[in-house]
């Protein structure tokens, strides 16, 4: 990497190209993203961890205590409060607490993330690159998934991006008042999921600031000279941090962050909130008690998170690295440097953490979108031959995947190999066929005269059509094979008027608790004797258990309801189905 002059950030941005591209590209990207994130948002029942957010908010509304999150009456402070609070105003927009209300905040923050990456890319590059970066982010598989999912992950990703966008926009004003807003954004981001809202932006901004003039300059200043001179260099590079406004900003951010915990502690006389912050952030980072993925986990996980655009990521990274290494000393591209530091810094941050899980890496997606957009919108004469070959290989993989997936999806059930012939017919086959043929048409268009522009157009069409079909068409139709919501209705019908007799046996299901919508916590038992004592004290009991655990209840029971078993389910899956048992009192 070449060294660069000490010019301001703007001096090395691609300012001459700022007017390239239509003004309508960015609004079109945001509009298409809005359709993808918001359409049929509440059709599907809760899935996996969504039940936690749903039940916490339901119990907040039930108790009118918005500073003490509980699930089935038990404290659940694994996440801070802000992501739950976002759902509360959404209930007014959707007509009540329902699936749409719980997912709406994530969808809104997903759209905000698309807008912010466009703003960042517009500052770094030009209109076309900015709009494409926004579209790439909006059509990356995991970004769409979590933008339509009740959780705190998209809020955190967008919050980190907002902090970095503020940094990029005001970097040349080292000690401006924007620093106060920066810390306030980080505080609010940290209130959605955890201290990563502070740690990750500071890590990326600090790393970029030190590398802004190049690795050689950084090494020359830190490897020799007096200690005071080394500190002076670091102080100059991190002036946005080492200035008199930072203590004020930290104080404001600290007050905003700590206030909900202080109110919670004063009302409940418990420090569970701050204890869980320490446990879930500091302890988990250094000494994880779960989620111990291998150190190389994220090197392959990103290809699933960013699909289908990830097939172009290796070529994009190679091209940007090549450009930086070949840049003249007086013309170091700080725009490309920021994109790379954002990408590799985020990857390093989550890899350093000893607690690793696939979706933890979501904050890298905006950086990856920047890098891929830069590849596809660059000038053809600037494209390195090796990067071009790698881009073509990646697009070839995508082409094969589209053809193979289409044939597999359209294959009649009777012709499927092995146990796959037990699966139901593919949903909405005419709709899928129409979209697939459109994708094949764009593939033919691209391969007729293969270049970055045609690959970008074809991949964009494939990404949007595939994700639209998956989330807006196929998944809602697959609800016919999900039964938690209908099982809960059957339970309510059976126990009507006797809700005090309802109990759980060896299960903890926030989604089921939400759909049961009981006005009081449901007791949970782990032994037959506990259930027997409960039935005796209540004159009988209604017990919800897994099918595999029902036989362990050596009592006088009768099954009254259960989730149906499907032909393609494995025995272990069938064993996890819910059943409702009527337990008669032994008295």
Residues 21 and 166 in one domain: yes
pLDDT tens digit string along 147-167? Answer: 999 999 999 999 999 999 999
Residues 211 and 66 in one domain: yes
CB atoms within 10 A of CB 128: 20
* pTM confidence score: 0.94
Residue 521 DSSP one-character state: P
Q: What backbone phi and psi angles, to 5 degrees, belong to 451?
A: -155, 175
Structural domains in the chain (count):
3
313 occurs within a structural domain: no
- The answer to whether residues 364 and 347 touch, using CB atoms and an 8 Å cutoff, is yes
pLDDT tens digit string along 392-425? Answer: 999 999 999 999 999 999 999 888 888 888 889 8
Residues 573 and 428 in one domain: no
- b/e burial code for range 396-415 (CB count within 10 A of at least 16 → b): eebbeebeeebeeeeeeeee
547 occurs within a structural domain: yes
Q: Which domain holds residue 146?
A: 16-292
Residues 152 and 259 in one domain: yes
Tokens of 120: 């960042």
Give the pLDDT band (50/70/90) at residue 96: very high
10 occurs within a structural domain: no
Q: Is the pLDDT of residue 269 over 90?
A: no
Q: Is the pLDDT of residue 560 over 90?
A: yes
Residues 212 and 83 in one domain: yes
Final residue of a structural domain among 457, 479, 501: 479
Residues 514 and 471 in one domain: no
Predicted local distance difference test score (pLDDT) of residue 159: 98
310 occurs within a structural domain: no
Residues 395 and 535 in one domain: no
Give the pLDDT band (50/70/90) at residue 453: very high
Q: What backbone phi and psi angles, to 5 degrees, belong to 504?
A: -105, 150
Task: Kindly compute the dihedral angle of the four CA atoms of residues 167, 171, 173, 175, in this order, to the nearest 10 degrees.
Answer: 60
Residues 205 and 118 in one domain: yes
Cα–Cα distance measured from residue 320 to residue 325, given in angstroms and rounded to the nearest whole number: 9
Final residue of a structural domain among 456, 479, 502: 479
Cα–Cα distance measured from residue 272 to residue 213, given in angstroms and rounded to the nearest whole number: 45
134 occurs within a structural domain: yes
Q: Is the pLDDT of residue 225 over 90?
A: no
468 occurs within a structural domain: yes
Final residue of a structural domain among 292, 317, 332: 292
Residues 400 and 541 in one domain: no
- The answer to whether residues 490 and 511 touch, using CB atoms and an 8 Å cutoff, is no
277 occurs within a structural domain: yes
Residues 525 and 475 in one domain: no
94 occurs within a structural domain: yes
Range of lowest pLDDT (7-16, 69-78, 284-293, 525-534)? 7-16
Give the pLDDT band (50/70/90) at residue 14: very low
Residues 535 and 471 in one domain: no
Residues 71 and 196 in one domain: yes
Q: Is the pLDDT of residue 17 over 60?
A: no
């Amino acid at each position: 990497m070449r060294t660069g002059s000490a010019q301001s950030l703007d001096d090395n941005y691609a300012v001459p190209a700022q007017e390239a591209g239509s003004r309508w590209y960015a609004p079109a990207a945001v509009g298409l993203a809005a359709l993808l994130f918001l359409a049929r948002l509440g059709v599907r029942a809760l899935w996996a961890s969504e039940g936690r957010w749903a039940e916490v908010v339901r119990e907040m509304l039930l108790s009118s205590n918005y500073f003490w999150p509980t699930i089935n009456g038990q404290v659940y402070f694994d996440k801070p409060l802000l992501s739950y609070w976002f759902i509360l105003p959404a209930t007014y927009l959707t007509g009540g607490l329902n699936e749409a209300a719980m997912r709406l905040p994530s969808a809104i923050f997903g759209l905000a993330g698309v807008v912010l990456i466009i703003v960042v890319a517009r500052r770094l590059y030009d209109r076309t690159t900015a709009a494409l970066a926004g579209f790439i982010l909006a059509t990356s598989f995991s970004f769409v998934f979590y933008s339509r999912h009740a959780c705190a992950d998209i809020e955190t990703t967008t919050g980190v991006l907002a902090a970095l966008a503020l940094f990029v926009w005001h970097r040349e004003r080292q000690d401006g008042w924007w620093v106060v807003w920066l810390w306030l954004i980080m505080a609010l981001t940290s209130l959605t999921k955890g201290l990563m809202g502070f740690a990750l932006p500071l890590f990326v901004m600090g790393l970029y600031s030190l590398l802004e003039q190049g690795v050689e300059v950084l090494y020359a200043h830190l490897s020799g000279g007096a200690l005071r001179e080394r500190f002076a260099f670091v102080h100059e590079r991190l002036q946005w941090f080492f200035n008199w406004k930072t203590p004020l900003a930290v104080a404001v951010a600290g007050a905003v962050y700590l206030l909900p915990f202080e109110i919670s502690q004063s009302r409940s006389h418990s420090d569970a909130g701050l204890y869980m912050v320490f446990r879930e952030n500091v302890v988990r980072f250094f000494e994880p008690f779960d989620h111990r993925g291998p150190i190389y986990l994220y090197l392959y996980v990103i290809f699933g998170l960013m699909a289908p655009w990830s097939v172009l990521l290796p070529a994009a990274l190679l091209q940007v690295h090549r450009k930086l290494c070949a840049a003249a000393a007086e013309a170091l591209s700080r725009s490309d440097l920021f994109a790379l530091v954002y990408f590799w810094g985020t990857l390093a941050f989550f890899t350093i953490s000893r607690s690793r899980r696939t979706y933890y890496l979501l904050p890298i997606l905006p950086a990856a979108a920047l890098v891929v957009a830069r590849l596809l919108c660059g000038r053809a004469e600037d494209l390195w031959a090796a990067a071009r070959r790698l881009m073509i290989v990646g697009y070839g993989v995508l082409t094969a995947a589209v053809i193979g997936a289409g044939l597999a999806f359209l294959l009649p059930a009777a012709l499927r190999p092995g146990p796959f012939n037990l699966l139901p017919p593919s949903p909405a086959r005419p709709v899928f066929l129409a979209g697939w043929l459109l994708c094949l048409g764009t593939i033919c268009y691209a391969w007729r005269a293969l270049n970055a522009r045609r690959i970008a157009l074809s991949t964009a069409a494939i990404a949007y059509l595939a994700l639209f079909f998956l989330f807006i068409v196929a998944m809602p139709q697959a609800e016919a094979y999900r039964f938690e919501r209908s099982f809960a209705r059957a339970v309510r019908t059976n126990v009507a008027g006797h809700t005090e007799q309802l109990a759980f046996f060896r299960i903890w299901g926030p989604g089921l608790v939400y759909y049961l919508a009981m006005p009081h916590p449901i007791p949970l038992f782990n032994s037959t004797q506990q259930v027997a004592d409960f039935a005796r004290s209540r004159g009988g009991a209604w017990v919800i258990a897994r099918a595999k655990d029902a036989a362990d209840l050596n009592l006088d029971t009768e099954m009254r309801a259960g989730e149906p078993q499907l032909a393609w389910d494995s025995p272990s899956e069938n064993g996890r189905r819910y059943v409702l048992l009527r337990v008669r009192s032994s008295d």
